[in-house]
């Protein structure tokens, strides 16, 4: 008799632990079997003591009492309710591969090797295998590992590639770089899905599920950062001569347009007022130059630099009002220290960013002008001056207001490829206080990237718009989510003699990337 009871009890317990006892207490969501372990955690986030959400195999016959909803793939590129998978091909920062053809990627995933990519190896995350269309992305099972292990594989050597889900958190490192697929960064290759109500009373449940799935499917924020933007002298003359007030950025606007957030350093004032201070160089551009900034899509511009006070308080006020009026947030300068040191808060894709800007530069080498004397005080306008303890305190305070903090730092020795001691001290104080990234300018030339734990320090982005003899620059593209930095990439730029940047040709881009990789390797020994 005891054996009979045990035989009856075990199936009942199994049923009760798998499904709620009451049909009203369960919402079953039908989906492809491979998706079930991936999406069940999303459903678990919706479950509570009164209602349980369950993933069930869509090949099972519907149960009108339980199977209220269905998630169905609709194919790559189709209109869809949400995107379960954005495919990312990720490599180490110094990998020679910059762009990969889809056919080569498919061959590598299927066969583990392809003549198009000699010597390359691949690891594929279990999520990619589960969520991708098997016909579109055939995958050899022996190369499938966890998401975190796939990323570790990519970091371990410069000839290794990881195919992962771009939206998944955990395991990322700022040294990783997304490889473009047919010219597109992650986002160009994705698989969509629809949520369908199977019962007439499932409308509210569908909206609840959609909100959770869209949050789960949100990609990291894409940030485009550039160095010094100086719109005076030759740039102002070119605008006046051609009648094109946006000529300074016209050839690079397309490089910046796709980013969620575009940031840089404005190395001049936008004003017709004020008298120049006594120093070697003073930079003032006409207010119409604002159109070059709006064309490029700038969202935040640092004013914490050694030229913001070149024409005094009136020009500073004109500049901040012009930027703000155009929807560009100035940061790092203001009518007093409280304003100059205050963060700018911006939100993208549900992630709150606090942007801070500071300067700490040597005295002018010829005029002995001391930029430090332009620092804002409690009662006087000026810029935010950087000292390690001040920056650390600012970052710590900003962390309480935002998910991530980015520091724009104007510091270093001009025309030097290596960061100096004060650059390093301030940058490390910032990341130790919780900054996700420190992005530098002032040296006029590019400097390397240092990986400080899960944070990234780009010591100098060099010139971007500037009529100097420097001809090499780059856009730094960053991807940051609420859980940290996902990776970075450099997009080389050539600066014309008149100061206008344009995308570098393949021949010019190669040495720029190679030098940046060398400088980065030296900083991370």
Residue 482's pLDDT is 95
Residue 61's pLDDT is 73
User: How far is it, in rounded angstroms, from Cα 338 to Cα 332?
Assistant: 10
Residue 335's pLDDT is 97
pLDDT in tens, 60-96: 776 666 668 999 998 655 679 999 999 999 999 999 9
pLDDT in tens, 457-516: 999 999 999 999 999 999 999 999 999 999 999 999 999 999 999 999 999 999 999 999
For the chain, list the domains and their CATH numbers.
22-79+192-216 (no CATH), 85-190 (3.40.190.10), 221-523 (3.60.21.10)
C-alpha dihedral sign at 408, 430, 88, 516: positive
Report whether pLDDT(200) > 80: no
Q: Are strands 261-266 and 144-145 parallel, antiparallel or unpaired?
A: unpaired
Region 354-359: mean pLDDT is 98
Region 173-188: mean pLDDT is 94
Q: What angle do CA 459, 464, 467 make, to 5 degrees?
A: 125
Residue 75's pLDDT is 64
325 three-class SS: helix
pLDDT in tens, 426-452: 999 999 999 999 999 999 999 999 999
Angstrom distances, CA of residue 224 to CA of 256, 475, 476, 501: 6, 7, 6, 15
User: How far is it, in rounded angstroms, from Cα 202 to Cα 29?
Assistant: 11
User: How far is it, in rounded angstroms, from Cα 307 to Cα 411?
Assistant: 13
Task: Please report, rounded to a whole number, the percentage of residues in the chain having pLDDT higher than 70.
Answer: 93
The answer to whether 181 and 163 are in contact (CB under 8 A) is: no
Encoded tokens for 277: 């201070």
Q: Which of 375, 390, 392 is nearest to 340 (CA)?
A: 375
Encoded tokens for 279: 């120093």
Q: Which of 362, 356, 353 is nearest to 391 (CA)?
A: 356
pLDDT in tens, 112-137: 889 999 999 999 999 999 998 756 67
Report whether pLDDT(410) > 90: yes
Task: Please report, rounded to a whole number, the percentage of residues in the chain having pLDDT higher than 90.
Answer: 82
pLDDT in tens, 255-304: 998 899 999 999 999 999 999 999 999 999 999 999 999 999 999 999 99
User: How far is it, in rounded angstroms, from Cα 103 to Cα 123?
Assistant: 17
- DSSP assigned state of 138: -
Residue 510's pLDDT is 96
User: How far is it, in rounded angstroms, from Cα 400 to Cα 177?
Assistant: 29
Task: Grade residue 201 by pLDDT with cuts at 50, 70 and 90.
Answer: confident
The answer to whether 94 and 517 are in contact (CB under 8 A) is: yes
Mean pLDDT of the chain: 92
Q: Rg of the Cα trace of the chain?
A: 27
Residue in the structure block whose two tokens are 């720029």: 512
Residue 49's pLDDT is 82
Task: Grade residue 4 by pLDDT with cuts at 50, 70 and 90.
Answer: very low
Report whether pLDDT(21) > 60: no
């Amino acid at each position: 008799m005891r054996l009979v009871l045990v035989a009856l009890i075990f199936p009942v317990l199994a049923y009760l632990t798998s499904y709620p006892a009451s049909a009203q207490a369960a919402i079953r969501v039908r989906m492809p079997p491979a998706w079930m372990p991936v999406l069940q955690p999303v459903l678990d986030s919706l479950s509570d003591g009164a209602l349980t959400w369950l993933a069930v195999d869509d090949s099972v016959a519907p149960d009108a009492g339980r199977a209220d909803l269905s998630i169905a793939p609709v194919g790559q590129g189709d209109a869809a309710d949400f995107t379960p998978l954005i495919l990312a091909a990720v490599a180490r920062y110094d990998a020679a591969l910059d762009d990969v053809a889809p056919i080569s990627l498919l061959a590598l995933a299927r066969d583990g090797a392809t003549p198009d990519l000699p010597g390359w190896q691949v690891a594929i995350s279990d999520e990619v295998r589960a969520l991708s269309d098997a016909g579109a992305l055939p995958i050899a099972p022996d190369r499938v590992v966890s998401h975190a292990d796939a990323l570790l594989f990519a970091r371990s050597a410069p000839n290794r590639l990881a195919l992962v889900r771009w939206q998944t958190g955990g395991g990322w490192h700022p040294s990783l770089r997304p490889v473009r697929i047919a010219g597109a960064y992650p986002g160009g290759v994705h698989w969509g899905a629809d949520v369908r109500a199977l019962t007439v009373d499932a409308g509210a449940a569908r909206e609840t599920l959609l909100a959770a799935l869209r949050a789960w499917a949100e990609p990291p924020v894409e940030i485009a950062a550039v160095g010094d933007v100086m719109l005076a002298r030759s740039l102002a003359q070119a605008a006046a001569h051609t009648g094109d007030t946006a000529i300074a950025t016209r050839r690079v606007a397309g490089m910046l347009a796709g980013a969620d957030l575009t940031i840089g350093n404005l190395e001049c004032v936008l004003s017709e007022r004020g008298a120049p201070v006594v120093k070697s160089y003073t930079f003032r551009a006409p207010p119409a130059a604002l159109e070059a900034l709006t064309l490029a899509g700038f969202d935040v511009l640092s004013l914490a630099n050694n030229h913001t006070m070149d024409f005094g308080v009136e020009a500073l006020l004109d500049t901040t009002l012009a930027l703000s009026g155009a929807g560009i947030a100035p940061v790092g300068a203001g009518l007093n220290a409280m304003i100059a040191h205050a963060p700018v808060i911006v939100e993208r894709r549900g992630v709150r960013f606090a942007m801070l800007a500071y300067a700490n530069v040597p005295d002018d080498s010829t005029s002995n002008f001391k930029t430090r004397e332009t620092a804002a005080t409690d009662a006087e306008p000026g810029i935010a001056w950087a000292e390690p303890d001040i920056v650390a305190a600012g970052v710590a305070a900003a962390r309480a207001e935002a998910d991530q903090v980015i520091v724009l730092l104007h510091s270093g020795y001009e025309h030097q490829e290596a960061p100096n001691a004060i650059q390093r001290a301030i940058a490390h104080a910032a990341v130790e206080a919780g900054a996700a990234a420190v992005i530098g300018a002032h040296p006029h030339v590019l400097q390397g990237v240092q990986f400080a734990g899960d944070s990234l320090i780009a010591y100098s982005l060099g010139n971007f718009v500037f009529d100097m003899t420097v001809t090499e620059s780059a856009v730094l593209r960053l991807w940051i989510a609420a859980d940290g930095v996902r990776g970075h990439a450099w997009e080389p730029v050539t600066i014309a003699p008149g100061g206008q940047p344009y995308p570098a040709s393949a021949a010019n881009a190669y040495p720029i990337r190679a030098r940046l990789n060398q400088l980065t390797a030296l900083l991370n020994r």
